[in-house]
Each structure stands twice: as C-alpha cells, then as structure tokens.
Chains A and B, each alone.
Chain A
Amino acid sequence: MRQSSGGYLSAGQNVKQVWEKLRRGYVVKSMVTSLLHVFQRRVTIQYPTVRKEIPWGYRGTLYLNDDCTGCSLCATICPNKCIDMIEFAAEERPSLPPRLQKQTRIVEIIKKQGKEKKYKIPQVNLWRCMYCGLCEEICPVDVINMSTHYEISERSREALLLTPERMMAREEVEG
C-alpha cells in the first residue's frame, strides 16, 4: 500500500494541498492550546521535599503489629513464596517495642494451647515480595499488615530481608 509518498504532484496540486492545510488552520490551534498551558498551575511536585499524600490502605512494606500466632497462613498464600517462618524459643522471641506491647489476645491464644511451643514468626524477603496484599488479607488475627511506607530501596540484599526482629520493631512504619 503505497501512500502519501513518491507520487509526483504537479505544482498546482501542491499549492492546493498547502492552501487546504492553511485553510484548516495549519497548526494554530495546537500552538495556542499549548501556549495557554503556560499560564496554568504546574502539576508536578518537587519530590523529595514535597511528598504526595498516601491514602489509607496503601500496600507498602510489611510489619507486625502484635504477637504472631505462627499459623503460617501468610507463608502458604504468598504467590512468590517470600515469607519464611522462623522458629524461636519462648525466651528469645522478638517482641514489640515496649510502649506498644499488647499482651492480650495472642498470648491468651498461645497459652490455651498448653504445652511449651516454639514460636514461629514470619520473615519477609522484600526483594521477592510483589506487595499484593494477600498475606495481609488472610491473616486471621490481623497481625501482619502493610504500611504506607514505600521508600524501601536499599543497597544490599541483607538490608532488604525483613527479619522477625525488624518486623516487630516496625521501623518501616515508625522510621
């Protein structure tokens, strides 16, 4: 399909083409429209001095906001298999920062199970996580949550591994 190229147009046809284009107002409307934008407010924000407001429910990094029961549902549902459950003995398990410790429901649930058990707490590989939010949805006690913190780039793989201690310390959320 040979279109709009090599065919030679006579002088008269050329002039007619140009006249048609001029009559339709060659590019004047585009130029005027773009010029009018000069007088409008600019739409970009100067990140990082100014930050956009993040709505509630944004799926950023993960954190734990209470003691975990160790049910491993989050590890099972994760599509990328980025959650591992790390076992801790009772004394060594990481806990929330002192001012946030709520020793209520989870500890009761664990105590009800009787014998000395090992605590399992999730560890998340942030470089495998795709922030889909399925782990947050499936958690039966609403402990593993996603924060609105999204600036999570680091310089080493180790820094991207959210160990149970880091998840309990909620530094992603607080810091």
Chain B
Amino acid sequence: MNLYDMILALLQYVHINRLPQPWLDVIVYAIEGAIFFTIAGILVAFTTWFERKTLARIQLRYGPVYVAPRFGGILQPFADLFKFLVKEDIVPKNADSIPFTLVPFLLLTTLIITMVAIPLSDWLYVTNISTGILLVYAFFSTMPPLVMVAGWAQNNKYTMIGAFRAAAQMVSYEVPILLSVVGVVAMTSSFSLYDIASAQKNYRWFVIPQMLGAIVFLIGLVAETERLPFDLPEAETELVAGWHTEYSGVKFMLIYFSEYVRAFLGSAIAVLLFFGGWYGPFSHIPVMSFFWLMVKTYAIIFVIVWLRGALPRVRIDQLLRLGWKVLVPLSLLNILAIPLVVRLFGAWGWAVP
C-alpha cells in the first residue's frame, strides 16, 4: 500500500478516477510530487533549526528561542522565510541579470526533481525509478556549472574566484562519491534506491561490508555540500561570502534553502545506501518506518553539524589533495575488493551477486 495507491483511493473517493490511464497517472504523480515537496520542504526547514540549535549547544549558548518560545524557537525558519520575502531585490549594475536571476531557481528546480527520486519510507515514495541513484547523482552534479554561472553573473572578481573554487571542489568530490556507491550497487545489482534500501532488512546494513565506501561517501558528502571543514569557497575571508555574495532577498533564500536541501538529501541517500534505510524495530508499521528513516537521517545531519562546530577550515589545495589523492584511491580500492566482498557476504545472505 504505497503513496500511489493511497492517492488513487482518494481520487476514487472523489469520483475522478474514470479518466484514461495516462491522464490519471499525470494527476496522481503531480499530487505525489506536491506532497513530497511539502514534506521535504518542512523537513529541510526543520534541519535549519536543528543545525542552529545543535551548534548553539556545542557552543554553550541557546540558539533560536524567540519565535516559538514554548517549543524552543522551532518556528524560526518560517520567520526567516518571511524576512527574506520582504527584502529588496538587488541586481548589481553591470551584472548579467538573466543568469543572475535564473541560477537560484534552476538550483532549486534540480533539487526538487532530486527530492522526488528519493524514497522516504517503504510506502512514501513517488515511484520506484530503476536508475534511481544515477538520476540523483546526475542532478547533484548540475550544481558546479550553475555555481560558475552565478559567480560570473555577479560582475565581481571575488565571486568569480569563489565560484571557480566551489566548482572545483564539488567536481573533485563527486568522483569519490560515485565510486563509493559502486560497491553498494554491486551488492544488490540494482541502481534503484528503493531496492537498495529494501535489501537491508534484518539489520543487514551495507555499512558493514562497505565500511570504506561509507566513510568515503560521508566525507565526500560534507565536501560536496560545502560545509565546514570544507567551506573555503563560501565563508572564507578574502571572498567574504564566496559565490553568492551579491545575492539578497528571495534569491538568497533559494540558494540558502537549496544548500540545506542538498545536505538533507545527501544524508537521506547515505542512510538509504548504507545505514539500513527505513528498517528498525517495529518498522513494519508504516509510520515507524518513516520515523526510523528520519531518525537516522538526522543522526547523520547531527554528525555533519558537529563537524562544523568542531573543526577549522581546510585550505583549498589541501582539500583538493584530500579529494583526489586520498579518497579516489580509497574508493578504487573498495571497488577492487568488490568481488571478494560480494562473494563473502553473499554466502551469508547479504548480497545478491
């Protein structure tokens, strides 16, 4: 009983299920997409709050407390949303205004498409895309060119430098991420995120056979989403705020939001690939499977925020060296070990060779 069936049942209830099949599909998928976007949007807003509170706790202070004082300031992201909406929309003089305006929207669009490709539970998924992980990865990699266009469009020497660095960083960490996923794909012979997650029943999490792949993936995730300790293009000194310096108001909100969406989606993918997806105690109950996925995702987000709190920034050449000279060989090593691992764990019922 998945989301498709639920919506179909709802439409039946309101008597509009007599349409020809393609049209019915379009309507159901549209509603599913809207639901997903809403859920994911609220979760990402919650992630912002979660990050600020955790960081504050690590730093011995309070974090947001004013907006909904009883609940610890949990409506703060919505207050920020309204603030951004009423800000003035500034386009710098001599800036290329069409790319300048388009980039935030394109960023968010690609991320929305990615959002609907990720199953959030064993019933809460839009559709079981057979090339799931590749599709997600492809849309994640549309970011570097968009970043470069944004840096160029702001007519600012520093943002251009920042954009080049950001793009270089992202591109150089996409390689280890993809290579580390190969091991997981080999364990289930399928690119579909739903199938990979379903294969991790009974505590047969793929982090155990693919420990190296998991570590490489997580480090690559932190670098890909430009969070500390890898946020040199963004929060560094000579570049003030990096490639999104000149953005303000709604456009900045979209960029800021899309960064958190990437972090959230990256963690969700890590959980689906390595940490058992939505399985946990009582996960046969639908609500609990969603709950477990959320708990695990937020555990990974907690680790990412913890890294932000505890560590200084890595310099750009050290960063690139880590990506190419350390993570890529490690993930290649992981790939070399795949036949052995798959055979070994296949004998124990983990993998589908």
Contacts and interface: CB of A to CB of B under 8 A. Distances in A.
- How big is the A interface, by class? 20 to 34
A14 B324 CA distance: 11
A42 B57 CA distance: 7
A35 B307 CA distance: 10
Contact of B58 (A5, A37, A44): A37
Interface in A1-24: 5-6, 9, 11, 14, 18
A34 B306 contact: yes
B306 A35 contact: yes
A70 B285 CA distance: 85
Contacts of A9: 325
Given A31-B306, A34-B306, A46-B65, A11 B60 contact: no
A9 B311 CA distance: 25
A34 B310 contact: yes
A11 to B, nearest CB: 7
Contacts of A40: 60
Given A14-B325, A14-B326, A18-B326, A27 B61 contact: no
Interface in B54-81: 54, 57-62, 65
A9 B62 CA distance: 45
Given A35-B58, A43-B61, A27 B306 contact: no
A34 B61 contact: no
B88 interface: no
Contacts of A46: 62, 65
Interface string B303-315: 0001101110000
Nearest to A32: B310
Interface string B176-208: 000000000000000000000000000000000
A97 B106 CA distance: 68
A6 B309 CA distance: 29
A41 to B, nearest CB: 8
B339 interface: no
Given A18-B326, A31-B311, A37-B59, 8 more contacts: A27-B310, A34-B309, A35-B306, A37-B58, A38-B57, A38-B58, A42-B60, A46-B62
Interface of A: 5-6, 9, 11, 14, 18, 27, 30-31, 33-35, 37-38, 40-44, 46
29 contacts: A5-B317, A6-B317, A9-B325, A11-B325, A14-B325, A14-B326, A27-B310, A27-B311, A31-B306, A31-B307, A31-B311, A33-B310, A34-B58, A34-B309, A35-B310, A37-B57, A37-B58, A37-B59, A37-B60, A38-B54, A38-B58, A41-B60, A42-B57, A42-B61, A42-B62, A44-B61, A44-B62, A46-B62, A46-B65
